[in-house]
Structure 1
Amino acid sequence: MSQETDEIREAIAGELRLMDPSVRMSRSLARELLDPAFVEVGASGRRWTYDEMLATLPELDGGAENGPRYESSNFEGVLLAPGLVHLTFESMMDGHRARRSSLWRKQGAPATWQMYYHQATPIPLDSV
């Protein structure tokens, strides 16, 4: 694992918050964590913009309090530059695994960490 800095810990905390159903169900809470220039390439291959993600997030997997939840593991982070963190990790949801990569940047006044980019790549069941 990479050497964890406060910046990396804060980015991981933001990532975990975005997996929390109460945040996924709340556009206002999700808005705090997503950069206005946010883009995602999901495990399906679909490209999502900031507005599309905010509009759809409550209906996506992991958005129901009583439904399946994301389980994450193997977080690694790298501070690429002041205010820019790259995270990689694995997730499991309802039997589906994915390798994930995200960029978090800290900006604005007051400066807050927000996800700028996210990509998920499915892991085949027979893969290690």
Structure 2
Amino acid sequence: MSRETDEVREAIAGELRLMDPRVRSSRSLARQLLDPDFVEVGASGRRWTYDEMLAALPELDGAAESGARYEPSDFTGVLLAPGLVHLTYETTWEGNRARRSSLWRKQGADAGWQMYYHQATPVPPDSV
């Protein structure tokens, strides 16, 4: 169940920015959106740390300005606690689907929302 709060909308905006090739190819822009304690479990099953992701992001899918882009859909989100939003959504990348879950946190009134955790699970081609 999605509760469209300002916090949820801000987390979705951050998620969409992380899919933007200009952000993916810029370590300084990506750093603004990733929490220093960031961890990801990718669709491949690989575990990524903050430093690993910042180093690899410019080379990962979706970083080329003229290349293919992730197609996100079906965002839902909920404010779990003050400063903590959980998002779920689906992406399509060159015909491959993944279900995604991320936690966004905001630490302090003047801080921006940052992705704290992300997980992607591949969706088999014949699944609904």
Q: Same fold (TM over 0.5)?
A: yes
Q: Secondary structure at the match of 1:107?
A: coil
Segments of structure 1 that go 5 or more residues without pairing to the other structure are none
CA contact under 8 A between 2:23 and 2:30: conserved in structure 1? yes
Segments of structure 2 that go 5 or more residues without pairing to the other structure are none
In the TM superposition, structure 1's runs of 4+ consecutive aligned residues that sit over 6 Å from their partners are none
Q: Secondary structure at the match of 1:52?
A: helix
State the number of aligned residues. Answer: 128
Equivalent residue for 1:78?
A: 78
Percent of counterpart pairs with the same letter? 82
Tell me the alpha carbon deviations over residues 47-84 of structure 1, each in whole angstroms, 9 at most, x when there is no partner: 00000000000000000001110000000001000000
Taking only aligned residues, the RMSD between alpha carbons, in angstroms, comes to 0.9
Distance 2:52 2:3 in 1: 34
Deviation at 1:110, TM superposition (A): 2.5
The one-letter code sitting in structure 1 at the alignment partner of 2:28 is S
Distance 1:95 1:112 in 2: 33
Distance 1:36 1:111 in 2: 13
- Report the TM-score, using the length of structure 2 for normalisation: 0.98
Equivalent residue for 1:33?
A: 33
1:12 aligns with 2:28: no
